[in-house]
Amino acid sequence: MPTIRVTSSAGPYRVVCAPGAVGRVREHLSSLGTHTGIFFLSSPRVWGHCGPAVARAIPGGAARQPILFDDRESAKRLAAVEGIARMLVRAGADRHAILIAVGGGVVGDVAGFAAACYLRGVRLVHVPTTLVAQVDSAVGGKTGVNLPEGKNLVGAFYPPRLVIADPNLLATLPHREFRSGLYEVIKYGVIADAGLFRFLERKMDTVLRRDASALSFIISRSIGIKARVASADEREGGLRQILNFGHTFGHALETATGYRRFLHGEAVAWGMIVAARIAQATERLASEDAHRVVRLVAAVGPLPAMPVISPTKLRGILLGDKKAHGGRVLWVLPGRIGKTAWGIDVPWPVIWRSVQNAPEMFAEARRGLAAEAEAHGRMRR
């Protein structure tokens, strides 16, 4: 069964990435040694879809009543971590317990932070059930919750002991959430893998149909990139910053809209468009490549409209981002497809013009794709 190894300060861990991996979770858990109990952390919605299949695969008697919490981004707060910790105490979880987070990015972030804090750290296993969690958030050890002032401003680096990424769990994922995860896959192509980017350009229709072979390819390829980057720079001192491509403006969008308008990947999609435009405007990225990035984002589907945000408000949110340094917003910008630089200071007028240009760039790309589809349809007729 395909396994990707990730190194961390707490020791190496495995990401098992294969269809049907959840059915063998008992076998994979055996590598973690003895425990005093297994405790599931999930949300009511996710547990209803995926929980029974995960619980059935656990050794008899170990599967307890799950601890369920709200997995909306707007509910990703410190109060959720406290609630989980109190339920773990009442359930009798001690330092030798194993917590299994079953869900998407919010479940993983909140459960991971709870695991890092509870009794000063208990073992954590991720079973990601969304595309964005499988290719991104479940790997690398970042955990955290939001504050009203910004996203993920309270958290910890806390690597899991095991990640089980089973593409079969994506079968019931709503299409909008599936598309949201694809934006993170596009990110990997832009920052580190021109071959993956070209595959998405050629095969996006196949990927959107959730073809099993295409899914296995893009998921394993994305996890491989995340594993290499996180292993080389666990605490984001340098190289790992490239994973924030699209996230600087994306996080600002989420904050400005109270985490209620955009799915995370959708906000990152707008962030990638803005970053591509900034890179083009500063002559770091050729116009052709900037338009390829926007076009690939547009090929995934429609996005919620970008809201009207005043320049003063946007600048304040950006300066409050955890990646800001000394009163400067530092950007991740591509130099070409597959090659990216980080820590780039950009003049505010360039940022603001790029934000203003982004909606038309996206609309133009969508119009171009629609015209091509119509012409193709006429040719077929």
Digit-coded pLDDT (tens) for 149-163: 889 999 999 999 999
Q: Would you say 285 and 334 are in contact if contact means Cβ atoms under 8 Å apart?
A: yes
* Residues tagged active-site: 120, 142, 184, 226, 236, 240, 244, 247, 251, 264
Average pLDDT across the chain, whole number = 94
pLDDT at 1: 60
166-192 residues labelled b (16+ CB within 10 A) or e (exposed):
bbbbbeebeeebbbbbbbbbbbbbbbb
Q: Which pLDDT does position 56 carry in this prediction? A: 85
pLDDT digits (tens, 9 = 90+) for 200-248: 999 999 999 999 999 999 999 999 999 999 999 999 989 999 999 999 9
| Residue 330 φ then ψ, to 5° | -105, 130
Phi (first) and psi of residue 100, to 5 degrees? -115, 115
Cβ atoms within 10 Å of 347's Cβ, excluding its own: 11
Instruction: Name the token pair of 311.
Output: 């320049």
pLDDT at 380: 40
Residue, of 6 and 58, whose pLDDT is higher: 6
Q: Which residues, other chains included, contact 354 with Cβ-Cβ below 8 Å and sequence gap of 6+? A: 274, 277, 278, 281
- pLDDT reported for residue 267: 98
pLDDT average, residue stretch 303-324: 92
**pTM of the shown model:** 0.93
Half-sphere exposure of residue 92: CA atoms within 13 angstroms, side-chain side: 7
Q: How far apart are CA 84 and CA 82, in angstroms?
A: 5
Q: At what angle do helices 264-281 and 287-300 cross, to 10 degrees?
A: 170
* Position 119, amino acid: L
Q: How far is CA 187 from CA 49, 127, 249, 273, 304, in A?
A: 28, 22, 14, 11, 19
Confidence of residue 61 (pLDDT cuts 50, 70, 90): very low
What domains sit in the chain, N to C, each tagged with a CATH number?
3-170 (3.40.50.1970), 175-380 (1.20.1090.10)
At 120, list the tokens: 């000063």
Q: List the single range of 58-62, 162-166, 306-310, 375-379 with lowest mean pLDDT.
A: 58-62
- Reported as a single tens digit per residue, the pLDDT across 175-208 is 999 999 999 999 999 999 999 999 999 999 999 9
pLDDT band at 378 (very low <50, low <70, confident <90, very high): low
